[in-house]
C-alpha cells in the first residue's frame, strides 16, 4: 500500500512535469531559431542570479512546512516564509538601484536594465515555491502538477509570440516573468490561509523552533545553488553571453527534463520519508527501489546524449548551436549524478543533518570553482573548464548519494560500482557504434 500510494503520487506530479517539458522542449526548436545565443545567455545569467537568492529568501523555513506535525504551526511557517520572501526581494531591489551598472559590466550583460526584473522574479518564485511546499504537505499533488503545466504553457506561449508584438527587449525574459506570475496566481487561488491571521509571537515561536534551518540550511542552500550555478557565472565573466547561451541550452536539453522527474519524485519522497524516518527498514527499502528506478529510466537517454549530443543539439536548435552539443557531451554524466542525488536531498532536513549539509556544500563550492578556474587558466577555453568541473562534480555527487543511503539505513556502495561499470560499458559500445556509422 505504501509503495503503491508513493508511486501514484509521484506519477501524478511527473505527468504534469512531463507535459510541461514537452511544451518547453518542443518550443526550443523554434526558440533556437528566433533568439540568439546572447539572448539565451542573458536570461540564463539572470535566472541563475535569481536562483541564488530564491534559495535563501525564506531562510529555509519553508522546508519545515512539510516536517512540522502541527498544522497551525505549519501555517505560521508558510506565513513567515512569505514575509521573508518579500523582505529579501526588497533588499535586492535596493542593491540593484545602487550597483546596477557594475553588476551588468561584471556579467557582461548587453542591457543592465534587465536586472530590475531580478527582485520581482525572486519574490514571485520564492513565494510560489513556499506555497507548493504547503500543497505538498496537504497532498494536493494534482494542483502542483497543473501548476507546472500552466507555468510552461504561459511562458512558452509568450516567448513564441513576442516577435509579433510591439514590445522591445528580450522576449525570453518577459516570457519567464509572465510564467512566474501565472504560477503564483494559480497557487494563491483558494489557498486556505489568511496571511495576516496570526501574531508576531507565533511567528517568533516557529522561527525559534526551526532556527537551525536559518542558521545551517540557509548557508548550505546558498552554497549549493552557487556551486551548481557556478558554470554560468564563470562562463559569463570569462567568455561572455554567447558561450553562456550555449551552455544554458545544453542544460535545457539535458538536466532540465531530468530535474522535472527528480523534483516530482523528490517532493513525494520528502513528504513520505518525513513520516516514517524512524523506520529504517521501510526507508531503506523505499530509497533503494527509487534509486533503481531512476537509474534505469535515465541511463539510456544519458548514453544517447553522451555519444550523439554533438549531432542532436544542432538538429533541434539549428546550425548555430553546434557548441551546445559539445557542452552536452561534457556535462551529461554530471547531470546524471545530479538527477540521482536531487530526489534524496531532503534527507538533510528530514534527519536534521544541516551542519553536515553546510560543510559538504562548502567543499562542493570550493572544489567546483577551483576546477572551473583551473580549466580556464590552464586549458584556456570553456570546454576545458567544463571538463574539470564535470569530473570533480561527479565524484562529489556520488559521495553524497552514498551518504544519504547510510542515513536511510543501507549503504549504496555495491550499486554505485555496478552503475559505473554499466555506464562505462554502454558508453564504450555507443562510441564504437557511432564510429561505424560515420
* 10, pLDDT greater than 60: yes
- What pLDDT, on the 0 to 100 scale, is given for residue 345? 82
Mean pLDDT of 187-195: 85
* 279, pLDDT greater than 70: yes
60/20: higher pLDDT? 60
Q: Which of 342-346, 378-382, 393-397 has the lowest mean pLDDT?
A: 342-346
SS3 60: coil
Q: How confident is the model at residue 142 (pLDDT cuts 50, 70, 90)?
A: confident
* 242, pLDDT greater than 50: yes
DSSP 214: I
Torsion 330-332-337-341 (CA) sign: positive
* 238, pLDDT greater than 90: yes
Q: How confident is the model at residue 139 (pLDDT cuts 50, 70, 90)?
A: confident
* 1, pLDDT greater than 60: no
Mean pLDDT of 258-275: 71
Confirm if 342 and 267 have CB atoms less than 8 A apart: no
- What pLDDT, on the 0 to 100 scale, is given for residue 8? 65
What are the pLDDT digits (tens) for 323-338?
Answer: 999 999 999 999 999 9
Domain range for 255: 2-437
Q: Which of 188-197, 259-268, 316-325 has the lowest mean pLDDT?
A: 259-268
- Number of domains present in the structure of the chain: 1
CA 395 remoteness from chain centre: 19
- What pLDDT, on the 0 to 100 scale, is given for residue 312? 95
13/227: higher pLDDT? 227
Neighbouring residues of 43: CB distance < 8 A, sequence distance ≥ 6 = 170, 172, 173, 176, 248
- What pLDDT, on the 0 to 100 scale, is given for residue 7? 60
Confirm if 261 and 297 have CB atoms less than 8 A apart: yes
How much is the CA Rg of the chain, to the nearest whole Å?
21
- What pLDDT, on the 0 to 100 scale, is given for residue 174? 96
- What pLDDT, on the 0 to 100 scale, is given for residue 264? 67
Q: How confident is the model at residue 289 (pLDDT cuts 50, 70, 90)?
A: confident
Mean pLDDT of 404-426: 91
Mean pLDDT of 232-251: 94
SS3 196: coil
Taking phi first (over 0 means left), then psi (-120 to 50 degrees means alpha), and beta for anything else, what does residue 198 get? beta
What are the pLDDT digits (tens) for 66-120?
Answer: 888 899 999 999 999 999 999 999 999 999 999 999 999 999 998 899 999 999 9
What are the pLDDT digits (tens) for 30-76?
Answer: 999 999 999 999 999 999 999 999 999 999 999 899 888 899 999 99
CA 273 remoteness from chain centre: 21
SS3 138: coil
Mean pLDDT of 378-383: 93
Confirm if 30 and 61 have CB atoms less than 8 A apart: no
Burial of 19 (0-12, 13-18, 19+ CB in 10 A): middle
What are the pLDDT digits (tens) for 144-175?
Answer: 889 989 999 999 999 999 999 988 889 999 99
Q: What percentage of the chain has pLDDT greater than the value 70? A: 94
| CA separation for the pair 163, 100 (Å, rounded) | 27
> If you average pLDDT over every residue of the chain, what do you get?
89
| CA separation for the pair 433, 427 (Å, rounded) | 10
Amino acid at each position: 500500500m505504501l509503495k503503491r500510494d508513493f508511486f501514484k503520487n509521484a506519477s501524478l506530479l511527473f505527468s504534469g512535469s512531463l507535459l510541461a517539458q514537452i511544451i518547453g522542449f518542443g518550443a526550443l526548436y523554434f526558440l533556437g531559431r528566433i533568439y540568439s545565443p546572447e539572448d539565451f545567455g542573458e536570461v540564463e545569467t539572470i535566472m541563475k542570479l535569481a536562483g541564488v537568492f530564491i534559495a535563501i529568501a525564506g531562510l529555509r523555513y519553508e522546508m519545515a512546512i512539510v516536517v512540522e506535525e502541527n498544522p497551525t504551526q505549519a501555517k505560521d511557517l508558510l506565513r513567515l516564509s512569505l514575509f521573508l520572501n518579500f523582505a529579501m526581494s526588497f533588499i535586492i531591489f535596493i542593491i540593484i538601484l545602487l550597483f546596477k551598472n557594475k553588476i551588468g559590466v561584471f556579467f557582461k550583460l548587453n542591457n543592465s536594465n534587465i536586472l530590475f526584473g531580478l527582485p520581482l522574479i525572486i519574490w514571485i518564485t520564492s513565494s510560489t515555491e513556499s506555497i507548493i511546499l504547503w500543497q505538498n504537505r496537504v497532498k494536493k499533488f494534482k494542483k502542483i502538477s497543473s501548476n507546472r503545466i500552466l507555468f510552461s504553457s504561459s511562458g512558452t506561449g509568450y516567448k513564441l509570440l513576442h516577435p509579433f508584438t510591439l514590445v522591445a527587449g528580450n522576449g525570453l525574459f518577459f516570457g519567464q516573468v509572465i510564467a512566474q506570475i501565472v504560477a503564483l496566481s494559480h497557487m494563491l487561488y483558494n489557498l486556505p490561509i489568511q496571511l495576516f491571521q496570526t501574531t508576531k509571537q507565533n511567528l517568533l515561536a516557529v522561527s525559534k523552533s526551526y532556527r537551525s534551518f536559518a542558521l545551517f540550511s540557509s548557508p548550505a542552500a546558498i552554497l549549493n545553488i552557487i556551486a551548481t550555478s557556478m558554470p554560468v557565472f564563470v562562463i559569463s565573466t570569462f567568455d561572455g553571453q554567447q558561450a553562456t547561451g550555449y551552455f544554458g541550452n545544453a542544460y535545457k536539453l539535458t538536466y532540465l527534463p531530468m530535474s522535472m522527474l527528480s523534483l516530482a519524485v523528490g517532493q513525494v519522497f520528502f513528504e513520505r520519508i518525513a513520516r516514517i524516518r524512524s523506520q529504517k527498514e521501510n526507508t531503506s527499502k523505499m530509497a533503494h527501489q527509487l534509486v533503481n528506478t531512476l537509474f534505469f529510466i535515465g541511463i539510456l537517454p544519458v548514453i544517447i546524449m553522451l555519444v550523439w549530443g554533438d549531432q542532436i543539439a544542432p538538429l533541434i536548435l539549428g546550425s548555430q548551436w553546434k557548441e551546445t552539443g559539445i557542452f552536452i557531451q561534457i556535462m551529461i554524466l554530471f547531470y546524471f549524478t545530479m538527477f540521482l542525488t536531487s530526489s534524496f536531498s531532503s534527507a538533510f532536513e528530514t534527519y536534521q543533518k544541516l551542519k553536515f549539509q553546510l560543510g559538504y556544500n562548502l567543499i562542493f563550492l570550493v572544489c567546483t570553482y577551483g576546477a572551473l578556474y583551473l580549466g580556464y587558466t590552464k586549458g584556456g577555453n570553456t570546454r576545458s573548464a567544463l571538463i574539470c568541473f564535470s569530473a570533480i562534480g561527479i565524484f562529489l555527487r556520488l559521495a553524497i548519494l552514498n551518504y544519504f543511503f547510510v542515513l536511510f539505513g543501507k549503504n549504496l556502495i555495491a550499486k554505485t560500482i555496478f552503475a559505473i561499470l554499466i555506464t562505462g560499458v554502454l558508453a564504450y559500445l555507443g562510441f564504437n557504434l557511432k564510429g561505424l556509422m560515420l
